[in-house]
Structure 1
Amino acid sequence: MLNVEQAIAEVAGVYQSITGRAIKPGRYELPPEVDPASHAESNYRQFKVLLEQKARASAEPRGKSEPAFAPPVDVVELEREVRVMVDVPGVTREQLVVSMTGDALTIRGERGALRSAAGMMRLEERRKGPILRTIALPPRARRDGIEATLRDGVLTVVIPTDGHGNDVTEVPIDVK
């Protein structure tokens, strides 16, 4: 169970270290159908995943490689599953690595530059290079029965939510 006071203090500390200002109290109304404790716990888990991701990224050796970018994602939580849709146009199945560690889904990949043999590049707006996206999942996300499909540049990962996410070992997910 989440210790709310500890979570608030940790978030406030990180906010102050980044901005140099204390968090100002505010008010946020949840819809009546949303459980406040589950909502706070989910957001806190997502916050912790982002901090861990940032810590891992800063610990990696710096080279001439480009920083990873996070492609757009939609996450839909249904009664018995969570669906994650990630835009990855120009990325093949072989270039994608999808895994689940604890209650986090991680998507890694590489989108290379599409260079023509002849001609000079005049405008280049589409992102290329390494892709990294981590999505926090509910604690009841099951580690088996996960399906990942890539169609028309959209990776769809379906995670059943009738299990327990206590295991922290990394589980690779085959993309079909």
Structure 2
Amino acid sequence: MKYLILILTILIACNLTYAQKKGRYVSDMGISCQISKVDQDNLLVEAGGSSDVYERESGKVFKCTTPKYANYRMRVDSETKVYAYQVGRSGTFYTYRDDQAIANAMMDCELSDKYLEKMGTEPGNAQVWAFCGQAGAIICATEPGSGRDEQIGTIAKTLKYLYTSGQTPCADAISQRIWGGQ
């Protein structure tokens, strides 16, 4: 027990945190924020038309410095995951999303290409095939367990407004499990 307390004390004293990636972070509901300035003690978070500085409160927790949002916190869980919350309330996880990697994957991804080609051959469903192509690009650009299902789930949720069948229009890009879970 005394060794556990010693280790925890050292970790707190060293103030160890992850090196946070700059860029776009997306929640499983598709809400995004931009973390554009990162240093040892500050994060610049842009969301919903506002730009707020979060300064380190303790350890991995950052506090918003804007007076009207003084109750807001952001906890850095890894270099690609943050948890945003208000004190005393549950919050939301945000995952780093490398939009450039997805764009690059769309340029060299057979699964994405399959649906982008369908846009030309079946123009009546062009929007459906565009969403399927985007889901395919995400599969090509991301690793399982990296927030992939959440990103594809967001696409499926939007696609259901256009495609009202109970079955996914592109099971190889949006699985029936993800489609049915939305």
Q: TM-score range by the shorter chain?
A: under 0.3
Identify which of structures 1 and 2 has the higher relative contact order when contacts are C-alpha pairs closer than 8 Å and 6+ apart: 1
Provide the TM-score with structure 2 as the length reference. 0.21
Q: Kindly indicate which of the two structures has a greater share of residues assigned to helix.
A: 2
